[in-house]
Structure 1
Amino acid sequence: MLLEKYVILWYYNFIEEVTEMDEKNLAGETYTRPWGNYKVEENNENFQMKILTVNPGGILSLQKHLLREEHWVCICGSGEAQVGDETVYICKGSYIFIPKQAMHRLHNTASEPLMIAEIQLGDAFEENDIIRFDDIYGR
């Protein structure tokens, strides 16, 4: 519950900053993926935070992580988040918790980019802690 409050407070502070920034400031160093891109905002021994930008129609692989849980807050846009067998509609302000080892994916079903603040907590934050089950991009 404390983490959820922290994420929500961070989200509202971030939104205020984003509205004052140029799009170039958000781009920074990005890591391109078939579904869009992500930028690592913070990475330390306690947590990692990314901003995911999912292109219209983009869909992340159905995946799980053995070493970390994830917390998603929708910054802007809309789409669907699948966690386990449940799929929910998300839009600006939505919060989604993904426990360790839970299968999950994100899908931008809208015509505008979907931006997600992703906070990872766990034992490790490497990109190789991804077990993919279904990936439309063949990875």
Structure 2
Amino acid sequence: MADQDASPVFQLQRMYLKDMSLEQPNSPQILLEQQQPQVDIQLAMGAEGIADGVFEVSVTATVTTKVGERVLFLVEAKQAGIFEIRNLPEDQVQGILRVVCPQMIYPYLRAIVSDICTRAGFPPILLTEVNFQAMYEAQGAEGAAN
């Protein structure tokens, strides 16, 4: 029985939309513009321990769409999950928190962003695929260089 207690554990406890906002600060006038809008997409990730072996991991997308200098619409969505991770070496835990968990969360975030844009009366914004492994490795290289 003692061997089972030391078995590695990784499981998703819960997935949820943590935060969502939509702003159309220049509506309705800007909706009459014929110019093609510029779209800027920013992604952020977060991970924090909330109990022993239990972590909240989140991925946030901020989509700013402008016509000229004026904002057409701004969407910010944060999708999160609660994960149980136990009996693994710390370097593996960090990899799971920064690669595996965001990969599980991201498809839900993509769907939410696309859906809210459509419900707001705009064409859907389709977030591109993200290589979280490459991002994690790049952050590790930056940390080693500093």
TM-score with structure 2 setting the length: 0.26
TM-score with structure 1 setting the length: 0.27
User: Relative contact order, CA 8 A, sep 6+: which one is greater?
Assistant: 1
More strand by share: 1
More helix by share: 2
